[in-house]
Each structure stands twice: as C-alpha cells, then as structure tokens.
Structure 1
C-alpha cells in the first residue's frame, strides 16, 4: 500500500481524490486534509496567504501520522502566485515540516508537461486574467512554452466547484489552439477526474487537469508508476528518457 498525502484548500472538489483513488485500481491510498483558506477568492493577496508556510504546517502532522509517504500542496494558485523561487521555498518548508518528500500542484504541472513530452501548451483557467498571467509566468520559468491562455474570470473556488463537464469542456475549447500540443486546466476546485477522457477525445490532444497532476506528482515522489487510461495520457504514457 502506498499512502499519498494531500493538503487541499478548503472544500470544493476534494471528492476528486477518492474518485481518482478508485480509478487507479491499485494499492494506492489518497489521504486528504483540508486547509482553511478563508473565502477561497481568486485574488492575488488571499491566494498568497493561503500558501504561507505556517498555514500549511499545522495540518501536515495528521498526514505524517497517517503513514503518508509524500505530501502535495493541492493548490495550483496557492503555489504559483508566489513566483518560482518562493514556490520552491514553500515546498522545502513543507517537506521540512512533514518530514516527507513534498511538492505542490504548481510544480506538478511543470513536471507533468515534461513527462508527456510536449513543449507548447494552452492554459484554460477559471481565474481572472491577472491570476492566469501569473500561472503563465510560472510555467515559462519552468521552461514550458505557453502559446495561448484563456481566463474565465471566476471570482471564487465555489463557483469553479459548481461547473459541470460541459462548462469545463467549453473552457478547454476556448483556450485550445492548433499550435498547442496539450491543454492545461489549472484549478483544483474544478471536478475533472471523471471528465479527462472526454476532454482528450474532444480536443484530440493530452489534457492535464489540476487534481489529476496532483495525484500523479505524489506518485512520482514515491517512485510509483500506475497505468490508468481513465485518467488520461499522463497515466498511460511511457516516461520520457532525458539524454
């Protein structure tokens, strides 16, 4: 049994994690601990506060005691709004507090793009434009070429959590371009675990969603590889060999 730990911001789409656990169909356990992030607004200052080290350190002890082998801060925006260097420090402090390998969803996207071997991506974001721009900057700092970005302009995680498959698909279509080799959907408040095959079939290319890459990142930290076609290209592709 491999136990994975996730610090999840608030209560929006945390039920994606037990769903992904079932779809993995293996000896994987996903332990989710909520982190109080207040109203869950998509404004830069509250998003930065949500990812402060002291806020994340408080709930992490429960994950460590549960037997988690790695921990991921399951908030894309709560990582990238700090910028590349500060997001790295955030993860280092989380690892120190947990005594475990650690990462965040923001870095998971960069690692997942490398895993599937693409260079050019489109970003389909629920966020306001200023927050989306910070994600684009973060990806570029990680060596990812962003060729298009679309912002839906939602104000809160609660609004994202209420979206259905049709709305998520419309968001991905709005961002996609012929030049993009993959589409990234960065909001962990969106329920996407059940919709990835539909998204990839419709767009004809890999789609990386926030909760999907978060679980994949935790598996990467524990050196586990699980083949799960129902979770999309990321969970079926052979690893890229770096030369």
Structure 2
C-alpha cells in the first residue's frame, strides 16, 4: 500500500566540503533500501560559487579543513540527529596532515558526536586493504591534486605498511563537474601496473564509484574508492547487515575494522 519514503533503518552522516555534491551523490547511489544518508557542509576556501574549484588545490586550505572549529561544530550538529555513524569525507587533508593526524582527528571529532563513531576516509582505505590482504597498491589521485599532494598520499599508505607500486593524478580535466566515468575507467585501466594487488582512487569529490564493478572485471583486482570504503566501514561500525552489491568486492567482507 505505502510507497518508499526514504526512511532508513541505518542512518549514515557525511561531513563534506560545502560546495562538493559528489559524496552525497555517491553514497546515495551505493546505499540500498534501508540506508539513508544525511550530510553536513563544512567551509572549504578552494571553492567559488556554483561549485567551481581551483584547478590545482593548495595544501594550506586543505590542511585547514581539518582544523577546529568548523568541522568540529559541524560534527556536533550532525550528531544531534539519530545517526549510526558519521563519515569525514575528505581524503586530501589526510594526505597533507598524515596518518597519525587522522587518529587524532577521529578521536577529536568523536568527543563531539555523543558516542557516534566517526569514519575517516583514508583510514577506511587502509582498513579495507588489510581486509583484502592487498599489500601492493596503485594509487590514483584526482586531477586537481598536485604532484606533491599525490606523493603525500603515497607516503600515507607507505607509512601504513603498503608498497605503492604506482601513484599519479589522473590526467583528466581538472574540473569535478567534467569527470566522465568512461574517461576515468580507461585511464585507470591503462595506467594500473600488473604488479598491483588493488587500486585506491582517492578524493571524495572524484566521481568514481560507477566504474568499480567494470574495473574489477577488467583488471581482476579489488578497486577501492574514497566514498566506497567510507560507506563500507560506516556500515560495519553501525552494525548494519544490509548488503551492497555492484560496488566492489570489499562489500563481501565483514571483518572487524581498524581503530582509525
């Protein structure tokens, strides 16, 4: 009798840059019935009106995104809702600030979320790689990441115990709204070395989840993306038993997640 109304038994919050629509779009695309997504926006100075972003983002505003008070206040406000987990959806600050800072950021935000667990996207990628027993990683960064930021990403995973066999920003248009799945698929397919045991496509603002299944079939290895691993870990932390299909083999794993 009744039509679906979007009311989810498991509710996932997302902290996202104020002009970035991709995290919500991808979370909603992946989330099956019974999962609802609720976002809060945090100021990020690299954006202009209309969601236009600088062609190459600088380290300083990326680093500042993780500083108090804005993200802390947003986390506390979002946690006023009856949520089961909250995702900090911003890969680049993890790259710039480092792995140890992610541990501190998670702890700091969880002091404001009233016991709701917080997922840090880059740390979720580390947890997913460990669950998959993948030690040799191909790292793909968005075209708006500088070569230096991409290298910082490589160091993030190296410090976490992985062998980064290839890392590079994708040579596509440096415009979030111009990214096409077909272009990204072909770039990743042709730039992933045969030695890689997994691919991680960083950047929560990088449109990527639509190609996960096709890339896994083409390359024969797990494909991870920032928003995909974040949803995977958020569902684990929430205790949800809902199945996510067609968005990567990581969702077949329900192993314990790491502390960060």
TM score, norm. by length of structure 1? 0.88
Segments of structure 1 that go 5 or more residues without pairing to the other structure are none
Aligned length: 236
- Whole-angstrom CA distance in 1 between matches of 2:127 and 2:104: 17
Answer yes or no: is the 8 Å Cα contact 2:30–2:244 preserved in 1: no
RMSD value, Cα: 2.2
Answer yes or no: is the 8 Å Cα contact 2:172–2:184 preserved in 1: no
Note the C-alpha offset of 1:192: 2.1
Map Cα deviations across residues 126-160 of structure 1 (whole Å, 9 max, x no partner): 1221001111111112122211112236796xx13
Give the aligned partner of residue 89 of structure 1. Answer: 104
Give the aligned partner of residue 62 of structure 2. Answer: 47
Give the aligned partner of residue 187 of structure 2. Answer: 171
Answer yes or no: is the 8 Å Cα contact 1:154–1:160 preserved in 2: no
Is 1:233 matched with 2:249?
Answer: yes
Structure-2 change in CA distance of 1:69 and 1:83 (3 Å) = same
Answer yes or no: is the 8 Å Cα contact 1:125–1:187 preserved in 2: yes
1:98 corresponds, among 104, 107, 113, to: 113
Segments of structure 2 that go 5 or more residues without pairing to the other structure are 1-8, 48-53
- Whole-angstrom CA distance in 2 between matches of 1:17 and 1:66: 18
Note the C-alpha offset of 1:124: 1.2
Is 1:75 matched with 2:90?
Answer: yes
- Whole-angstrom CA distance in 2 between matches of 1:155 and 1:57: 33
My pick for the range that moved more, 73-82 or 39-48, is: 39-48
Answer yes or no: is the 8 Å Cα contact 1:120–1:145 preserved in 2: yes
Structure number with bigger Rg: 2
Give the aligned partner of residue 32 of structure 1. Answer: 39
Higher helix share: 1
SS at match of 1:229: coil
Give the aligned partner of residue 5 of structure 2. Answer: none
Structure-2 change in CA distance of 1:119 and 1:230 (3 Å) = same
Give the aligned partner of residue 131 of structure 1. Answer: 149
Structure-2 change in CA distance of 1:83 and 1:155 (3 Å) = farther
SS at match of 2:111: helix
